[in-house]
Amino acid sequence: MSLKHKIVNIAVIAHVDAGKSTLVDAFLHQSGTFRDNEVVKDCVMDSNDLEAERGITIYSKNCSINYKDYKINIVDTPGHSDFSSEVERVIKTVDTVILLVDASEGPMPQTRFVLQKSLEAGLRPILFINKIDKQDQRAEEVVNEVFDLFVDLNATDEQCEFPIIYGIAKQGIAKLEMDDESTDLSPLFETVINHVEAYPDFDSESLQLQVSALAYDDYVGRLGIGRVYKGTVKNGETVSICKADGSVARGKISKLTAYEGLNQVEKSEAYSGDIVVIAGIPDISIGETICNTDNPLPMEMIHIEEPTLSMNFLVNDSPFCGKSGKFVTTRHLKDRLDKELEVNVGLKVESMDTTDGYRVSGRGELHLSILLENMRREGFEIGVSKPEVLMHRENGKLMEPMERVIVNCPEVFSGTVINKLNLRKALMESMSIEGDYVKIEFIAPTRGLLGYRSEFINDTRGEGTLVRSFERFEDHKGSIPGRTNGVLVAQGPGTTMAYSLAALSERASMFVEPATNVYEGMIIGMNSRKDDMVVNPCKNKKLTNVRSSGTDDAVKLQAARIFTLEEALEFIEDDELVEITPDAIRLRKRFLNENERLRYNKSRQASK
């Protein structure tokens, strides 16, 4: 077998924060990808600004390293279940997966999700127990937990005989046994090439290249990324494209690149087993197969999970419209969403009948809020409605998405958490005590979890963690109580005054600081009671020429609650919107005028 054919493709899969991107960094450093004097940032694969800030992977990415006479293509995958459409496609292009599990946390809900996809695809994973340098590491126990998880997920006997590596990704160390003296990742590289055979030589067969991911380039348009399963593909050749509906189209590859290190290098030809990027076919889509013109052989299409959550993206019609953003029209909104659809296959966009806006559906709150945050940074202004869970009917029954929720919190708060989740129709599956902390597993409707995270943080004084991932669809669980408190709504336009806010904060928690510009219908705080209250936050103290003791004391205010984008989306109710602009996130009523709101509420009551 010639040198060029020794290709192994691997994906690194894990729960969020287990150290996937850190391990890929170590791969790249130890394979000589970077020059000795090159300055390289941490998590070099998290190239998107948002990924770097939040420390999460959103889009799966490719790179390659050379080890001995092997070319190892590595795919770094997202851990959040909201980006599961990325994980599913990646699994199809690889020969094995490295399952990363934290040595103290053990398997988490997303670990279960990504492992299940790998086992279903028939892959034989390699287990990497990471962070064995932690004080509370329990590596041996975690290996047993992972084995139980394999059995739970109906792994075959062959899949259950997985190799185990112990290591510290941050230091680039892998060991076959806990007490080995290894100082680099060689044991992991060796395990990969011993555990998986190099991709067979199918160069002489008819071409089959399946597209598993999309990218976009402003100069050459849409790019298809995929694996050459059989045959060879040449730059500039005319090919057949086998479409999802069974039809076959013609196209010409205008540019062919493959990964070397982190870079895409232009190639004249690529061989079976390699992962390549092709340009020149403008309507290429996920799952389509590129074949020779004389012998089109379509591969089985890639199934992508349906969206579970939708929001309305509306043109911003607030009085502050256009003050900080440059893209504010329906046309701008449509162009941007169309561009997102080029690469974001987990997304659906539908026109709305009445208003200036679009109904956008995705895999979860994080999936959609990442899109909104990117748009905001690009200069868009948008009004967004309350997230709505997507249901469907099966055999005449209404079905809704359910999620597995794992809560870790101090034992003293567990009663409150269980009580709150019970009200939200969650079903407790297991509970275990670890020191002062309790670990509880629930199956809960996605509907019931909307808006719960901020309440959970308050209930556990910030000491609890809550992890959730999509589990399955079940029968509709009936009505679930929403937010119990009303809000304070600004009476008219103006600038907030400390004097008014101090008086209002005695019966409400405030969302705005003094000297904030507000408009009629803007939400400025949360009422301590269940009703909404229209208030004037711009009223200042009347000045007189008589001084009395105590009147000139400084006004002491509690710090206002400032919302992140996700928190704002979780907080609002059906008659409210989040106004998202490059410089602010504001909460507002859908109808800004008080009389219009009264009419709207009356019509809602009548329709009930």
392-475 and 487-607: identical CATH topology:
no
Domain boundaries 3-195, corresponding CATH code: 3.40.50.300
- What average pLDDT score do residues 397-417 get? 87
User: pLDDT digits over 101-120, tens only?
Assistant: 888 888 876 677 778 888 88
Contact 273, 353 (CB under 8 A): no
Give, as one character, the DSSP assignment of residue 387.
P
Q: In the block, which residue shows the tokens 């982190």?
A: 262
User: pLDDT digits over 550-601, tens only?
Assistant: 555 566 777 888 888 888 888 888 889 999 999 989 999 998 888 888 888 7
Mean pLDDT value across the chain: 81
State the pLDDT confidence band at 53, using cuts at 50, 70 and 90. Answer: very low
Contact 49, 377 (CB under 8 A): yes
Above 90 in pLDDT, residue 411? Answer: no
* The predicted structure's pLDDT at residue 46: 36
Above 80 in pLDDT, residue 35? Answer: no
Above 70 in pLDDT, residue 187? Answer: yes
* The predicted structure's pLDDT at residue 546: 60
State the pLDDT confidence band at 66, using cuts at 50, 70 and 90. Answer: confident
- What average pLDDT score do residues 529-537 get? 89
Instruction: Tell which wins on pLDDT, 36 or 249.
Output: 249
CA dist list (Å): 143 to 10, 168, 177, 189, 453: 21, 16, 12, 20, 31
* The predicted structure's pLDDT at residue 216: 75
Above 90 in pLDDT, residue 522? Answer: yes
Q: Which of 25-34, 85-94, 382-391 has the lowest mean pLDDT?
A: 25-34
Give, as one character, the DSSP assignment of residue 45.
T
Domain boundaries 392-475, corresponding CATH code: 3.30.70.240
Q: Which of 341-355, 381-395, 548-562 has the lowest mean pLDDT?
A: 548-562
Contact 241, 248 (CB under 8 A): yes
* The predicted structure's pLDDT at residue 43: 39
User: pLDDT digits over 114-140, tens only?
Assistant: 788 888 888 899 998 888 888 888 888
State the pLDDT confidence band at 232, using cuts at 50, 70 and 90. Answer: confident
State the pLDDT confidence band at 60, using cuts at 50, 70 and 90. Answer: very low
In the annotated binding site for GTP, the residues are: 17-22, 130-133
Domain boundaries 487-607, corresponding CATH code: 2.40.50.250
Above 60 in pLDDT, residue 81? Answer: no
* The predicted structure's pLDDT at residue 42: 38
* The predicted structure's pLDDT at residue 45: 38
Contact 587, 518 (CB under 8 A): no
User: pLDDT digits over 303-347, tens only?
Assistant: 666 788 899 999 998 999 888 888 888 889 999 998 888 777 778
In the annotated binding site, the residues are: 17-22, 130-133
Q: Where are the domains of the chain?
A: 3-195, 208-292, 392-475, 487-607
* The predicted structure's pLDDT at residue 586: 92
Contact 210, 92 (CB under 8 A): yes
CATH architecture of 208-292: Beta Barrel (2.40)
Above 60 in pLDDT, residue 20? Answer: yes
Above 70 in pLDDT, residue 17? Answer: no
Could you tell me the two tokens for 10? 């691997």
